[in-house]
Structure 1
């Protein structure tokens, strides 16, 4: 009897905790979107920003956000998943692999501003990229690599050993087993790691202030990766801290709403197409 009562109390506490988390999220979304949605229109989303006058838009910043995100994922996804596969399936348990895992865990906990300073020293100064979209994308890739590597390794290790043994028993090679059995089985969790990387890339500002800069190119859209590339999150920081525009509050509210909507849309899109991508990965039409 006492055990049942204890179980009911614990279950109730966990349900209340879940409701509290959802409530905080709903309240947060309401506060941001209630102020930002009235600001959104075509001129605001596609227009050029203004330094001293009212009515500026976020067009270049919105474009740069997507551009830097895509460039960073081009590097992060293959390298991160490849490293995760190596650690899970090929690496032996020795001092070297233990040091690699320790380094990954350490990098995952490093403050983003430290990555920003590292990117500035290496890409801006050493490689002479200057404040550029390319420098920002490469630095963001380094920021997100530990997450993708850790998630991939953990997801592959959680695949039932019987799946692997059954595949090998049919005469497939180890690589064929990884590609046709293990990765599709772990696909859901790997996608979740990529979602975390996408969310962080969209909302990151400290890293990009030191690498991509706080200015935009005169050309819009600007595809030159060596041009400066202020993103939406950096623009939000700039407007709220040192911006001189009279309608800074309006721009900040609209930018915040756009960032939230971007993250939500990308997550919904990835959830919606996750099964289709998994079937495509398996070769099923």
Structure 2
């Protein structure tokens, strides 16, 4: 009887979480999907007239995300490999893990102020895409480092021993055996990080700014780079455009659809790769 009761409670907790998520998503999509159109997604934004779009902000969101991942993924994978394969248990390892966990607990608005002081003011890049990307890298690193380390540690030791027994070096073993088997977990970490970065506002307000370039798309990393999330905050906080509620609803729906598509784009190949590797083990 206790077993059945505990099972029912677990199912109830899971269904409650799914219900809350479904209500939230359906409400946002119900309010925002009617606003979405080709002109809204690709058009220029307007500060005072009705009918503006979010084309530049949509492009900047992905541009800043890609740049931040390009900066953070090599560092995170290198740190994860070092912690899992080379470091062992030492004082230096403890300091690195403590630093990573401390960085993960820093509020994003504090990271934004740090990025504004270092990149915008001291280095003189101004409110720019490159400044926002470098600061967003600090948000991505803790999650990517820990996910990479844990994914590498889940690879069985027998794989390493078999590779070394065949005459491979330690680096060849890591590159050709360990990392491919840890790749599904690393992809999951990248997906979670990307979804969080797409919705980030506090960091980018202080580093990338609240304005956009005249042309769409603009690949100049020194130009200001307002994103979708920042534009939503801007139109609701200080915007004068009459249809700001419709713009905010449309941005909310567009962000949710984009993040869901982004997750599926990474999750499905990761699951297929994991199944392929699992089949290869047998």
| TM-score tier (shorter) | over 0.9
The alignment partner of 1:179 has SS state of helix
Is residue 32 of structure 2 the alignment partner of residue 60 of structure 1?
Answer: no
Equivalences for 1:80-99 in 2 at 5 Å?
A: 80-99=76-95
Q: Which residue of structure 2 lines up, in the alignment, with residue 110 of structure 1?
A: 106
TM-score with structure 2 length normalisation? 0.95
Q: 1:221 aligns with which of 196, 217, 230?
A: 217
> How far apart, CA to CA, are the structure 2 residues paired with 1:263 and 1:275?
18
Q: 2:161 aligns with which of 159, 165, 180?
A: 165
> Does the 8 Å contact 1:51/1:243 carry over to 2?
yes
Q: 1:70 aligns with which of 66, 70, 73?
A: 66
Equivalences for 1:41-52 in 2 at 5 Å?
A: 41-52=37-48
Is residue 198 of structure 2 the alignment partner of residue 198 of structure 1?
Answer: no
> How far apart, CA to CA, are the structure 1 residues paired with 2:176 and 2:19?
41
Listed one character per residue, the Cα deviations across residues 90-138 of structure 1 (whole Å, up to 9, x for unaligned) are 1132111101100100111111001000100010001100000000001
The alignment partner of 2:197 has SS state of helix
> Does the 8 Å contact 1:117/1:210 carry over to 2?
yes
TM-score with structure 1 length normalisation? 0.94
- C-alpha change, 1:178 and 1:47, in structure 2 (3 Å) is same
Q: Which residue of structure 1 lines up, in the alignment, with residue 31 of structure 2?
A: 35
> How far apart, CA to CA, are the structure 2 residues paired with 1:192 and 1:15?
25
Q: 1:153 aligns with which of 137, 149, 154?
A: 149
Q: CA deviation at 1:273?
A: 2.1
> Does the 8 Å contact 1:184/1:278 carry over to 2?
no
Q: CA deviation at 1:247?
A: 0.3
> How far apart, CA to CA, are the structure 1 residues paired with 2:148 and 2:124?
33
> How far apart, CA to CA, are the structure 1 residues paired with 2:221 and 2:153?
37
Q: CA deviation at 1:205?
A: 0.4
Q: 1:142 aligns with which of 138, 146, 154?
A: 138
Q: Which residue of structure 2 lines up, in the alignment, with residue 25 of structure 1?
A: 21
Q: CA deviation at 1:274?
A: 2.1
Q: Which residue of structure 2 lines up, in the alignment, with residue 250 of structure 1?
A: 246
Q: Which residue of structure 2 lines up, in the alignment, with residue 185 of structure 1?
A: 181
Consecutive unaligned residues in structure 2, runs of 5 or more: none
Q: CA deviation at 1:22?
A: 1.0
The alignment yields a C-alpha RMSD, in angstroms, of 1.7
> Does the 8 Å contact 2:188/2:266 carry over to 1?
no
Listed one character per residue, the Cα deviations across residues 13-50 of structure 1 (whole Å, up to 9, x for unaligned) are 11111111111111111010000000000110111111
The alignment partner of 1:186 has SS state of helix
Q: 2:269 aligns with which of 269, 273, 276?
A: 273
> How far apart, CA to CA, are the structure 1 residues paired with 2:197 and 2:105?
16
> How far apart, CA to CA, are the structure 2 residues paired with 1:156 and 1:223?
35
> How far apart, CA to CA, are the structure 2 residues paired with 1:277 and 1:50?
44
Q: CA deviation at 1:160?
A: 1.7
Question: What is the count of residue pairs matched by the alignment?
Answer: 278
Listed one character per residue, the Cα deviations across residues 41-61 of structure 1 (whole Å, up to 9, x for unaligned) are 011011111111111100000
